[in-house]
Chain A
Amino acid sequence: QVQLVESGGGLVKPGGSLRLSCAASGFTFSDYYMTWIRQAPGKGLEWISYTSGSGFTIYYADSVKGRFTISRDNTKNSLYLQMNSLRAEDTAVYYCVRGLDFYDYVLTYWGQGTLVTVSS
């Protein structure tokens, strides 16, 4: 069965960096677009980034463009999110998400999330 497990969250100071990882299993990782979604405490869902199966097509939300970098290693079935210049408003649970077959943007399989807290 599809499984997504995020790691790498934690407490970081404003201006700091953090790298999130997502280990995927149960499917052919390179066949699927992958997405990062975040949710600030008590708030709604926000799409932040997406990468094609090959990693050649990448998009970012304006809120993270220039600060965050999505990448993937298909040999390791892993997705990453490098987060630099972190701000208090980046505090959130970050989810790694896979789409449905033939519907890449239908967010079907979610990890358990990893909490990132940006605070001095």
Chain B
Amino acid sequence: DIQMTQSPSSLSASVGDRVTITCRASQSNNNYLNWYQQKPGKAPKLLIYAASILQSGVPSRFSGSGSGTDFTLTVSSLQPEDFATYYCQQSYSIPLTFGGGTKVEIK
């Protein structure tokens, strides 16, 4: 199984800040790496797939990068609606696996 490790597990930031979340896979996943946003009481929402492709309708302040085993989600200018928990997920092999999540809180 491919293990996914996210860091940090939580962070505090202010509106307008640039925020970066990292995800490391235990083995190469051929860039089959996706990012999701989840707000309390809601289902996760796909933000980025294949490491860097922005899902339709997602604001361009979100971006993804990386390759091999190391990946990054960046929010260029944090907005009030971006305070949420973010998960990475590898879609290269079964079992599909997720990172432990990064909770982005208001400073």
Contacts and interface: CB of A to CB of B under 8 A. Distances in A.
Contacts of B100: 44
A109 to B, nearest CB: 9
A111 B45 CA distance: 11
B95 A107 contact: no
B9 to A, nearest CB: 10
Nearest to A47: B96
A79 to B, nearest CB: 15
Interface stretch (B13-21, B67-75, B86-94): B86-94
A62 B97 CA distance: 12
Interface residues of A, number: 20
Interface string A37-60: 000000011110010000000010
Nearest to A96: B43
Q: Is the interface of B mostly helix, strand, loop or mixed?
A: loop
Interface centre among A59, A107, A113 (most CB of B within 10 A): A107
Interface in B33-53: 34, 36, 43-46, 49-50
Contacts of A100: 46, 49
Contacts of A111: 43
A85 interface: no
A35 B89 CA distance: 14
A103 B50 contact: yes
Contacts of B99: 44
Interface centre among B49, B50, B100 (most CB of A within 10 A): B49
Contact of B95 (A61, A95, A106, A108): A61
A95 B45 CA distance: 12
Given A103-B91, A108-B46, A45 B34 contact: no
Given A44-B99, A62-B95, A100-B49, 7 more contacts: A35-B96, A44-B87, A45-B101, A47-B97, A103-B50, A106-B46, A107-B96
20 contacts: A45-B36, A45-B44, A46-B98, A47-B95, A50-B96, A59-B95, A61-B95, A62-B95, A95-B43, A95-B44, A103-B91, A105-B32, A105-B92, A105-B96, A106-B34, A106-B46, A106-B49, A108-B49, A110-B44, A112-B43
